[in-house]
Structure 1
Amino acid sequence: MAKRSMRRIWLAVLLAGALVLTACGGGSSGGQGQDQGGQAAAGTDQGGSSSGSSSQTVVLNGAGATFPYPLYSKWFDEYHKLRPDVQINYQSIGSGGGKQQITAKTVDFGASDGPMSDEELAKVQGELLHIPTVMGAVVLTYNLPGVESGLKLTPEAIAGIYLGKIKKWNDPAIASVNPGVNLPDADIVVVRRSDGSGTTNIFTQYLSAVSSEWKNQVGAGTSVDWPTGIGAKGNEGVATQVQKLKNSIGYVELAYAIENNMPYALVKNRAGNFVEPSIETVTAAAAGAAANMPADFRIFIVDQPGENAYPISGFTWLLVYKDQTDCTKGKALVEFLQWALTEGESYAADLLYAPLPDNVKQMALDAVKTITCNGQPILQ
């Protein structure tokens, strides 16, 4: 518990600092390059330099996933200390927005927790690389008076709740695996994402894997036609709504539940064990995928076998063009990616993300080496 408390303090300080930077429009993790709608600032495109920046400063603008935002914020700050000549601005607008912005080339990199589909990639002008960064857990966080921790949920119960079929907290599907827990005869308030979201993609990929009814009726993706629930924007928005609404449940990345001092459920995995989300259990979920990683890194790791595998786990990716058109920016981006995949990985565990398996990290570094500028290798 002491270790978790220290992580909560660290996360609170980090996210508070990041929000201050964003609000001020400066700092290496703010959204200076974009407005609240996710549009790039005037004078900035994927291949150009940022208007208003000095000739000594390279400004990289990115947008996308909220899932890894606590870690990316830390990365951008630490890298700016190491390289004051490189400023990285990031807008946490959701994976859907990140895909849209990188496809439109209004940012220098996108970020997503769900890989782009073949259909999405067909709309991209140029070859887009998925660079995996870390792995994380999507957790079911809840606001249930009298149940401060230890709630257990089965795949059937989770799917039933989000299908709108399990409506009460004391439903037998929940009560039967929580003996001795005082579950109220109260309506379940379901909270889900309203924006295009990689976190949603991971969660709905999981639901599709464990429930044929969900797969056939709803399916998986960054956005789905939800059968029920109150929508909220971003992991931050879902966490806030669950914290505010009594008898509610929502899905967020683990760091947001920890940062808000909110409980999260143990989920029954394929082996039949109720598993707590953690670095170790996410790593266990990735073990099989790491051994069979596709060359383009587009893979989900939900509902994996293994005694200790947490079933709602996923990779998160940075989306970058293989051929850059601005060589100064391209070089800065490649150098940052190399740092992130080596030194940057050391920050992951303290922020409750699982570092990449060694073989996946090496594959990612090899992919970064293939990035060019106007057809010429950036790294000599």
Structure 2
Amino acid sequence: MADPLFTHLSRSRLKFIGITALTLLFSAACLAQDITLNETGSTLLYPLFTTWVTHYTMSHPGVHIHIGATGSEAGIQQVEAGKVEIGASDAYMSDAQITQHARIINVPLAIAAQTVNYNVPGLNEVHLKLDGPTLAAIYTGTVRSWNAPQIAALNPDVRLPAHAIVPIRRAEGSGETFVFTQFLTFSTPSWETNPGYGTTIAWPDVPGSATAMGNAGMVKAIASTDYSIGYVGVSYSDSVAQAKIGTAALKNGAGEFVMPTTETIMAGAASLGARTPPDERLTLVFAPASGAYPLVNYEYAVVSTHQADPAVAAAIRRFLLWTIVPSEENQAWQSEAHLIPLPPHIWELSQAQIQSIR
């Protein structure tokens, strides 16, 4: 399979960039002693952050990084309140939030996606076809059973059960909710009007619906609840497979039903990624390109550019630059978490933003 990060970079250039960046980072790291950084937020990014922190602190013994999986909304809020140095988020901050906190930046570290998963006995090995309007109807309670005409029309060759659907959503403010509800908003005019999208929204009251905390909680809730449906961060794909729950093929902006694969996620990111502005706040959801998976997003580090301690600012810069270094090792870690490294033009934008932290 073609290298997803280095399509437009020669391997010789990659090697030069990687070695040069790593040399600078490791040389500078020797100057940092006994610095503590605190991170919290996205449960989707948590598995990769765990790997990053483990390897980084092994080679940087003077740096201590505490991480937490509290949900994207909490990650943003904790940075806004000055309680942590790094917030991890699947969602970018709104214009209103940026106006209130002009010194906070949103820095993509990787590309991710969400999957729509379900537990329908006898059909979990079938990739049911679903689209935005049907999912919106399920989460508003308009479509209540698995054999409803809307679902049957999308899956004419599947014998669907006449059983009530149990829609499951995240209980806490979540970046997965942000991306999932963006998909419903962009694909379904009635959802755009109300309730719209966000890390937290006013969910319609659907009888029999349920909530779950975090991605791990969502997988567990779907697996333990027959006839349920929910949405999960792609970094939990291994947990989804182990739980033997189904994964839907979703209708994209080009009218195609696609599965979440490295190729389709890359296609979704490439379709919209060229529009990424310098502040890198951009949705990658519901791309119009052929072959694009519709639930794609940047994984952000949310950080204040103004730190009270210059040594802390330097430690944040070094760590974040290290996380996006284009190396085969870093690519392997991201692949293990089912995430995709940043393409060159986004990497350059993220590097520029990180350098602004002082």
TM-score normalised according to structure 1 size? 0.80
RMSD: 1.5
Match of 2:253 in 1: 270
Match of 2:352 in 1: 366
- Aligned pair count reads 317
Give the Cα–Cα distance (whole angstroms) in 2 for the partners of residues 133 and 329 of structure 1.
Answer: 19
The within-5 A match list for 1:1-380 is 56-124=33-101, 127-149=103-125, 150-227=127-204, 228=206, 229-261=209-241, 262-342=245-325, 343=327, 344-372=330-358
Pair 1:198–1:275, CA change in 2 (3 A)? same
State the 1:257 CA deviation: 3.8
Structure 1 window deviating more from structure 2 (98-107 vs 349-358): it is 349-358
Q: Is the 8 A contact 2:133 2:184 kept in 1?
A: no
State the 1:118 CA deviation: 2.1
Q: Secondary structure, in 3 states, of the residue corresponding to 1:348? A: helix
Amino acid at match of 1:183: L
Give the Cα–Cα distance (whole angstroms) in 2 for the partners of residues 208 and 335 of structure 1.
Answer: 38
1:294-330 superposed Cα distances (whole Å, 9 cap, x missing partner): 1111110111111110011111100111122112221
Q: Is the 8 A contact 1:146 1:182 kept in 2?
A: no
1:90-127 superposed Cα distances (whole Å, 9 cap, x missing partner): 11000111111101101111111111112222333x61
Residue identity over aligned pairs, in percent, reads 35
Give the Cα–Cα distance (whole angstroms) in 2 for the partners of residues 135 and 201 of structure 1.
Answer: 15
1:110-162 superposed Cα distances (whole Å, 9 cap, x missing partner): 111111112222333x6111110111111111111101222111222111111
Q: Is the 8 A contact 2:124 2:247 kept in 1?
A: no
Amino acid at match of 1:117: S
TM-score normalised according to structure 2 size? 0.85
State the 1:237 CA deviation: 1.6
Give the Cα–Cα distance (whole angstroms) in 2 for the partners of residues 221 and 322 of structure 1.
Answer: 24
1:229-264 superposed Cα distances (whole Å, 9 cap, x missing partner): 312111122111111101000011122243232321
State the 1:63 CA deviation: 1.0
Q: Is the 8 A contact 1:134 1:345 kept in 2?
A: no
Give the Cα–Cα distance (whole angstroms) in 2 for the partners of residues 260 and 87 of structure 1.
Answer: 32
- What are structure 1's unaligned runs of at least 5 residues? 1-54, 373-380
Give the Cα–Cα distance (whole angstroms) in 1 for the partners of residues 104 and 68 of structure 2.
Answer: 20
Q: Is the 8 A contact 1:279 1:349 kept in 2?
A: no
- What are structure 2's unaligned runs of at least 5 residues? 1-31
Give the Cα–Cα distance (whole angstroms) in 2 for the partners of residues 315 and 163 of structure 1.
Answer: 27
Q: Secondary structure, in 3 states, of the residue corresponding to 1:63? A: strand
Give the Cα–Cα distance (whole angstroms) in 2 for the partners of residues 263 and 71 of structure 1.
Answer: 24
Amino acid at match of 2:62: D
Match of 2:7 in 1: none
**Greater RCO (CA < 8 Å, at least 6 residues apart):** 2
Give the Cα–Cα distance (whole angstroms) in 2 for the partners of residues 105 and 296 of structure 1.
Answer: 21
Q: Is the 8 A contact 2:237 2:338 kept in 1?
A: no
